Amino acid sequence: MSDRPRGGLAALCIAQTTSWGLLYYSLPVSIRPITDDTGWSDTAITAAFSAGLIVSALAGIRVGRILDRHGPRLVMTAGAVLGTAALVLVGTAPALPWFIAAWLVAGPSADRPDLGGRLRRHGVRAADRHLNEQLGWRGTYLVLAGIMAAVTVPLHWFFLNARWSHSPRRDITSAMHQSYNAAATASIGHEPSSTYTLQAAHSSLKSSTRPPLASQVQ
């Protein structure tokens, strides 16, 4: 498999539109069927969903660091698998604590780029409403899990790079080296302005070559 497969952007758009739609735009349509079937209150159901969003926010920084370190293919595929598992857990939840735990699992799986918009919201809600009428809310979530697995997992695995193609930090450092060398050349004549430029470039270069703050506090 090539480390730079073609079609990565299109695959990412399709996968993210699908995963965000299935994970987050399906619940509003399912609240009433879930309440009617289980007796759980609307408040409890939406609280479970909100708890998943909080977990997503808390996990976001850490997931971003992992994404930077390991590249998009493995991390994004793992997120898709986790999202699939979360939908299965939602659909098979025998009690409210299980249901809440399922949405907590869904939280980290959403720490990926959010692409899409109005088409995703309306399309998923219409499909979800139809599935609820035909299969009930549990069957609906199991179908959504199957769609998640069939669409997002292969798109992430086969179309995203295993590693980032370049390092933004290395690019910045290279540019600062060039700036420093130019300033050093200009300062040979001992012109005050050139000296100040050299000092500023040297300071910036030192800052750009320091280890990331995250690595200093870990």
Indicate the domain borders of the chain.
Answer: 8-159, 168-217
**Under the phi-then-psi rule, with left for phi > 0, alpha for psi from -120 to 50, and beta for the rest, what region is 112?**
beta
Q: Is 39 left (phi over 0), alpha (psi -120 to 50) or beta?
A: left
What is the domain class of 8-159 according to CATH?
Answer: mainly alpha
pLDDT value at residue 156: 87
Which pLDDT belongs to residue 188?
Answer: 54
Closest CA to 117 of 13, 193, 45: 13
pLDDT of residue 82: 92
| C-alpha dihedral sign at 162, 154, 141, 125 | positive
Closest CA to 25 of 98, 139, 96, 121: 121
Q: Which string of DSSP letters, residue by residue, matches 76-130? A: HHHHHHHHHHHHHHHHT--SHHHHHHHHHHHHHHT-S-----HHHHHHHHHHHHH
* Per-residue pLDDT in tens (0 to 9) along the chain, 218 residues: 555 556 778 888 888 888 888 888 888 889 999 999 999 999 999 999 999 889 888 888 888 888 888 888 888 898 899 999 999 999 999 999 999 999 999 887 765 555 555 555 667 777 888 888 899 999 999 999 999 999 999 998 888 888 776 555 555 445 545 554 555 555 555 544 444 444 444 454 444 444 443 333 33
Q: Measured between alpha carbons, how far is 75 from 80 in angstroms, rounded to an integer?
A: 9
Torsions phi, psi for 71 (to 5 deg): 90, 170
